Amino acid sequence: MLEAAVQGYLVSLSLILAIGAQNAFVLRQGLRREHVGVVVLACAISDAILIALGVTGFGVVSASVPWIGEAMRWGGVVFLLVYGGLRFKAALAGGEALKPGDGAATSVSKVLTTVLVLTWANPHVYLDTVVLLGSISAQYPGHRLAFGVAAACGSFSFFTALGYGARLLAPVFANPKAWVVLEIIVGATMWAIALGLAFGG
C-alpha cells in the first residue's frame, strides 16, 4: 500500500509540474494575492474528482464516446485564445494596472469561473488525471484507493505551494514591468496550448 501511495503522489506531481494554463492562472492569482484560497481549493478539488473518476475506471467508459473529446478540445481552443488575448490586452494597459493593490479587484465569482473553465475545458487534464492516472492505478490491485488519495494529496500540495508561495516573488513584481512580462508569458502560454490542441489533437 505504501508503494502505491508513494507512486500516486509522485506521478500526480510529475503530471502537473509543467507550466500550463491552470498553473499560470494560479501563479498570477498568487502574485496578486487575490482569492488564492478559492483558486487553490477549486484546482485541488477538481483534480481529486477527476482522479477519483480515473481510479474507478471511468476512463474506459469515456473512451467509448469519442465525440466528447473533440467537443472539449475545440471548446478549450476557443477559451484559451480568448483568455490569452485578454492577458495581452492587460499587458498593453501597463504594469501599474496589474499591481495587486491597484484598480478594482476581480470578483470571487469571476475568478472561480475562470479557474474552473481553465481546468475542466482542458482536454489534457482528462488524459492526465482520468486516463493516465487511472491506468497506472490499475497496476496496484487492492491499493487503488491509496494510490488515488495520495495522487489527490500531491495535487493539493502543489497548488497550495504555487498559490501561496508565489508571494515570495512579490519584491520582483513590485516593478510594474514585471507584471507586463508575466501577463505576456501567461498570454503566450494560453495561445501555445490552444495551438497545440488545435493542430496536435
For residue 77, the SS3 value is helix
pTM of whole model > 0.75? no
Q: What are phi and psi of 164, to 5 degrees?
A: -90, -25
Residue 184 contacts residue 38 (beta carbons within 8 Å): no
Predicted pLDDT of residue 77: 77
**pLDDT tens track for 30-85:** 888 889 999 999 999 998 998 888 888 755 555 666 665 566 667 767 877 887 88
